[in-house]
Amino acid sequence: MSVFTPVSEGEAAAWLKGYSVGALESLEPIAAGIENTNYYLTTAQGRYVLTLFERLPAAELPFYLGFMAHLARHGIPCPAPIADLEDNYLSRLNGKPAALVTRLSGASLERPGAAECAQLGALLARMHLAARSFSGTLENPRGPKWWRLAFRKVKELVNGKDRDLLESEIAFQARDRFPDLPRAAVHADLFRDNALFDAGRLSGVIDFYFAGVDCFLFDIAVCVNDWCLADVNADPGADRSLDETRVRALLGAYHALRPLQERERAAWPVMLRAAALRFWLSRLYDKHLPRPGQLVRVHDPEPFRDILERRAAPGAHAPWLA
């Protein structure tokens, strides 16, 4: 969502001639996230988000856009891709693959409570149920294969203690991947800043560009490790243990729509660790191997190191359904 490829209003207006969405009225860069170039784009007919894909493989892009379109058709409040006049979701702008999607109302919440976590749990269950009929087959691009690749690239750039913890956790996860858990396409990055609320109602889920096929439980664990922390502050003294009330609100609302299985309960502590490892590694990677760009924001890796250590500690508590 950082701006790596600038787009002028004239360039955007010319590009929009390939769509039937009206003339350009405004173009505003979005200065959040780290992966793609994004702009809010308003035309005479509506509000949209323009995305230029900076480093995602071209072969993966139809999966992301197809998944969003599939969910939108099934009533999930997410950005719906707009087809151009040639009936394609993808085109090119300033040398990059580009797409136009609908813009949702609302804003993210910094401190969601139990009620908001319950809304998220219910929507996540609906997304997973709808995903079962999606035919896309892209394996989670930030799954175990990527963990090993990223570790090889950063291991000489981090301190010895971090290197040992990464190596130990990757080995632990390799022993416990639970291939029989329910799975399909999942969001895999549904942090608080990727969910929008409008007047207290969860109005939408955005940013599907880390989606892939994985077990549903991993998707839930990603959410819990961000939404249900006792203290969401990023400072070094923050309490990153899990708040049981919010965890159980999220899981309970999810379970009411897609009942969680006993084998998922058994895998739950491992999945919380897997989700922490994935985001600690990706933040280390972005910190030590940065890319140039305007308005670039790199997330601090340390909070997820702390989360992983807490989830992996002997006797660590992993709240489940009440």
Q: Are residues 98 and 129 in the same domain?
A: no
Q: Which domain holds residue 91?
A: 9-102
Q: Are residues 79 and 122 in the same domain?
A: no
CA 27 to chain centre: 24
Q: Are residues 263 and 307 in the same domain?
A: yes
pLDDT of residue 255: 98
- Does pTM surpass 0.75? yes
The per-type count for the chain, helices as H runs and strands as E runs, is 9, 9
pLDDT of residue 294: 47
CB neighbours of 304 closer than 8 A, spacing ≥ 6? 225, 276, 279, 280, 283
pLDDT of residue 32: 66
Residue 153: helix, strand or coil by DSSP?
helix
CB-CB neighbours of 236 under 10 Å: 9
Q: Are residues 64 and 133 in the same domain?
A: no
Burial bucket for residue 55 (CB in 10 Å: 0-12, 13-18, 19+): exposed
Single-letter code of the amino acid located at 214: D
Q: Are residues 43 and 132 in the same domain?
A: no
Tell me if 3 is assigned to some domain: no
Q: Are residues 92 and 147 in the same domain?
A: no
Q: Are residues 18 and 93 in the same domain?
A: yes
Q: Are residues 213 and 136 in the same domain?
A: yes
Question: What DSSP string describes 242-290?
Answer: B-HHHHHHHHHHHHHHSPPPHHHHHHHHHHHHHHHHHHHHHHHHHHHS-
Q: Are residues 234 and 196 in the same domain?
A: yes
Tell me if 109 is assigned to some domain: no
Residue 20: helix, strand or coil by DSSP?
coil
> How big is the chain, counted in residues?
322
Nearest to 290 by CA among 15, 3, 34: 34
Single-letter code of the amino acid located at 59: A
Tell me if 321 is assigned to some domain: no
Contact status, residue 242 vs residue 117, Cβ threshold 8 Å: no
Domain C-terminal end among 102, 123, 142: 102
Task: List, for residues 209-246, the tens digit of each pLDDT value.
Answer: 999 999 999 999 999 999 999 998 778 788 999 999 99
Q: Are residues 298 and 220 in the same domain?
A: yes
Residue 116 CA to residue 223 CA, distance in Å, equals 12
Residue 51 backbone phi and psi in degrees, to 5: -120, 130
Tokens for 303, please give them: 């909070």
Q: Are residues 95 and 125 in the same domain?
A: no
The domain tally of the chain equals 2
Tell me if 214 is assigned to some domain: yes
Tell me if 318 is assigned to some domain: no
Residue 6 CA to residue 94 CA, distance in Å, equals 8
Domain C-terminal end among 69, 102, 135: 102
Give the residues of the chain that fall short of pLDDT 50: 1, 294-295
The three-state (H, E, C) secondary structure of 42-69, written as one string:
EECCCEEEEEECCCCCHHHHHHHHHHHH
Tell me if 317 is assigned to some domain: no
CB-CB neighbours of 119 under 10 Å: 20
Tell me if 107 is assigned to some domain: no
Contact status, residue 53 vs residue 36, Cβ threshold 8 Å: yes
Tell me if 187 is assigned to some domain: yes
